[in-house]
């Protein structure tokens, strides 16, 4: 009997467990999920907590329940080091865990880029961060500065603006337009026009040189902006898990993987989701929930093949790449923007579609009726759309 260990219970980790279960691996072998958290959290839904459109129960599910349902065991601990030669994981508790195959889905953590005082800001990344933001709002914070005008920054700013009203939220983006990495000027213009019209204060073309006590910022041009709280949405970096021998990494610690999602430079280790760096035609797979779900499945299929004595055969094809403009985002006030290459439209329909997709995935994660069918239909639709549009 082999032991397969999945590190991280987010989108990629859940998808890996589900795939191993569907392929009968959890019946014939030992599968262990290692994650210090008690719950899976649907990260893209977190901004909705700020306007109470969703509750914590709506967007979370017990990792222990998920693991049991899928035939795995949940170990509540954090991995600090991987010894790839002896195939052992060293845990924060001091314990060690051996493995035959390892799938790293450990996600990412906020990146502060060495900006003085940035760690005094409130990051908008995981549930504990949002609980801190909500607590600050409940205690009377009414003037918020959002650093970063990317997808997360725009979604957070939109929800805060809806809650706090015109003139009480400022967003700062170093580039000269919102949503810079989406590569869609039309979507950027739609977001700017809508949010500016609702009273969002937008500062473009200026970065933050320092954060002052989590309440104010100093810009590159010397301007000072004061508020009751600063929310940091600028970027992320790989988790702090060390691996020996050192595998191939790139950028902010991302694990480079091959077409089968095997980590380059080590044996018997796969990586999926935010922890990995998958390159294709000079571009990279985006760090998005949908992409993580697809990668988790691919990694698990190949692990199942290897455990059965075959070679990896499932090549990953990223549907969401940095050289393509594809996303579905909310901008507050029950409105959203849908972007698929050159097709861009906004209004209530994209927002409703996003909410329905998120609800469908959560049904799947919680093991509720039709959840698996609905997420399967979503994936099939996305793949079909990808084929039709090239």
Identify the residue whose tokens are 């397969």.
4
Instruction: Specify the pLDDT at position 390.
Output: 65
Asked if residue 385 has pLDDT above 80, the reply is: no
pLDDT tens digits, 251-304:
999 999 999 999 999 999 999 999 999 999 889 999 999 999 999 999 999 999
- pLDDT at residue 374, as a whole number: 82
CA distance 98 to 90: 9
Cα dihedral 293, 363, 235, 38, rounded to 10, equals: -100
75 and 49 within one domain: yes
Write the pLDDT tens digit of every residue in 114-129: 999 999 999 999 999 9
Based on the domain organization, do 271 and 296 belong to the same domain? Answer: yes
> Are residues 132 and 164 both part of a single domain?
yes
Mean pLDDT throughout 234-258?
94
At residue 386, the pLDDT reads 77
Q: What is the pLDDT of residue 261?
A: 98
pLDDT value at 34 more than 70: yes
Q: What percent of the chain has pLDDT over 70?
A: 100
Tell me: do 248 and 268 sit in the same domain.
yes
CATH number of the domain enclosing 34: 3.50.50.60
Percent of the chain with pLDDT over 90: 92
Mean of pLDDT values over 375-385 = 81
Residue 174 CA to residue 195 CA, distance in Å, equals 17
Model confidence at 381, in pLDDT bands (50, 70, 90)?
confident
Residues 106 and 240 in one domain: yes
Highest mean pLDDT among 43-47, 371-375, 381-385: 43-47
Query: Which of 350, 346, 355 lies closest to 193 in space, CA to CA?
Result: 346
What is the structure's pLDDT at 376? 84
Q: Residue 111's pLDDT band (boundaries 50, 70, 90)?
A: very high
Give yes or no: residues 217 and 130 share one domain. yes
Distance CA 259, CA 276 (A): 12
Confidence of residue 382 (pLDDT cuts 50, 70, 90): confident
Q: Are residues 248 and 105 in the same domain?
A: yes
Mean pLDDT of 142-153: 97
pLDDT digits 0-9 by tens, 176-230: 999 999 989 999 999 999 999 999 999 999 999 999 999 999 999 999 999 999 9
Range of the domain at 305: 3-110+236-319
Distance (Å, whole) CA 18 – CA 46: 23
Q: Are residues 208 and 240 in the same domain?
A: no
Q: Given this model, what pLDDT does residue 387 score?
A: 75
User: Could you tell me if 258 and 213 lie in one domain?
Assistant: no
Same-domain status, 40 and 142 = no
* Mean pLDDT within 86-104: 98
The stretch 355-365 carries a mean pLDDT of 95
Compute the mean pLDDT over every residue in the chain, rounded to the nearest whole number: 96
Residue 272: CB atoms within 10 A of its CB come to 34
Co-location of 180 and 197 in the same domain: yes
Single residue among 319, 335, 364 that ends a domain in this structure: 319
pLDDT of res. 295 = 97
248 and 348 assigned to the same domain: no
Q: What is the pLDDT of residues 46-82, one digit of tens each?
A: 999 999 999 999 999 999 999 999 999 999 999 999 9
Among 204, 232, 260, identify where a domain stops: 232
Has residue 355 got a pLDDT over 90? yes
pTM of the model: 0.95
> Token pair of 183, please?
């590569």
pLDDT exceeds 90 at position 90? yes
Q: Which of 265, 293, 319 lies at the terminal end of a domain, its last residue? A: 319
User: Does the pLDDT at position 316 exceed 80?
Assistant: yes
CB-CB neighbours of 196 under 10 Å: 12
CA-CA-CA-CA torsion sign (31, 35, 41, 44): negative
Count the domains in the chain: 3
Quick one: which H or E segment has residue 246?
none
- Contacts (Cβ under 8 Å, ≥6 apart) of 337: 187, 190, 191, 327, 328, 329, 331, 344, 345, 346, 350
**318 neighbors 299 (Cβ within 8 angstroms):** no
pLDDT at residue 172 greater than cutoff 70: yes
Neighbour-count burial of 59, counting CB atoms closer than 10 A to its CB (0-12 exposed, 13-18 middle, 19+ buried): buried
């Amino acid at each position: 009997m082999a032991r397969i260990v999945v590190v991280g219970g987010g989108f990629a980790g859940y998808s890996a467990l589900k795939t191993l279960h569907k392929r009968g691996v959890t019946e014939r072998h030992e599968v262990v999920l290692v994650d210090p958290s008690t719950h899976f959290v649907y990260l893209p839904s977190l901004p909705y907590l700020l306007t109470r459109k969703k509750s914590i129960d709506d967007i979370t599910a017990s990792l222990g329940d998920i693991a049991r349902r899928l035939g795995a065991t949940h170990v509540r601990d954090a991995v600090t080091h991987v010894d790839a030669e002896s195939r052992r994981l060293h845990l924060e508790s001091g314990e060690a865990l051996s493995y035959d195959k390892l799938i790293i889905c450990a996600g990412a953590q906020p990146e502060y880029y060495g900006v003085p005082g940035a760690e005094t800001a409130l990051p908008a990344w995981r549930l504990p961060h949002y609980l801190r933001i909500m607590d600050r709002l409940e205690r009377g914070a009414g003037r918020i500065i959002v650093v970063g005008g990317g997808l997360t920054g725009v979604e957070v700013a939109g929800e805060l603006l809806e809650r706090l009203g015109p003139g009480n939220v400022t967003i700062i983006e170093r580039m000269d337009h919102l949503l810079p990495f989406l590569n869609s000027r039309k979507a950027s213009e739609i977001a700017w026009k809508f949010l500016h019209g609702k009273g969002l204060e937008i500062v473009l073309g200026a970065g933050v040189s320092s954060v002052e006590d989590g309440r104010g910022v100093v810009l590159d041009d010397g301007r000072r902006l004061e508020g009751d709280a600063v929310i940091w949405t600028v970027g992320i970096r790989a988790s702090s898990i060390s691996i020996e021998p050192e595998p191939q990494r790139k950028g902010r610690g991302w694990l480079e993987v091959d077409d089968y999602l095997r980590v380059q430079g080590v044996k018997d280790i796969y990586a999926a989701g935010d922890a990995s760096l998958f390159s294709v035609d000079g571009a990279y797979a985006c760090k998005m929930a949908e992409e993580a779900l697809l990668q988790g499945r691919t990694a698990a299929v190949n692990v199942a093949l290897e455990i059965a004595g075959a070679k990896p055969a499932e090549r990953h094809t990223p549907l969401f790449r940095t050289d393509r403009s594809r996303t579905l985002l909310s901008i507050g006030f029950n409105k959203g923007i849908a972007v698929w290459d050159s097709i861009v439209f906004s209004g209530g329909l994209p927002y409703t579609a996003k909410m329905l997709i998120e609800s469908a995935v959560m049904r799947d994660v919680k093991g509720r009726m039709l959840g698996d069918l609905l997420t399967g239909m979503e994936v099939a639709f996305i793949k079909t759309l990808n084929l039709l549009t090239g």
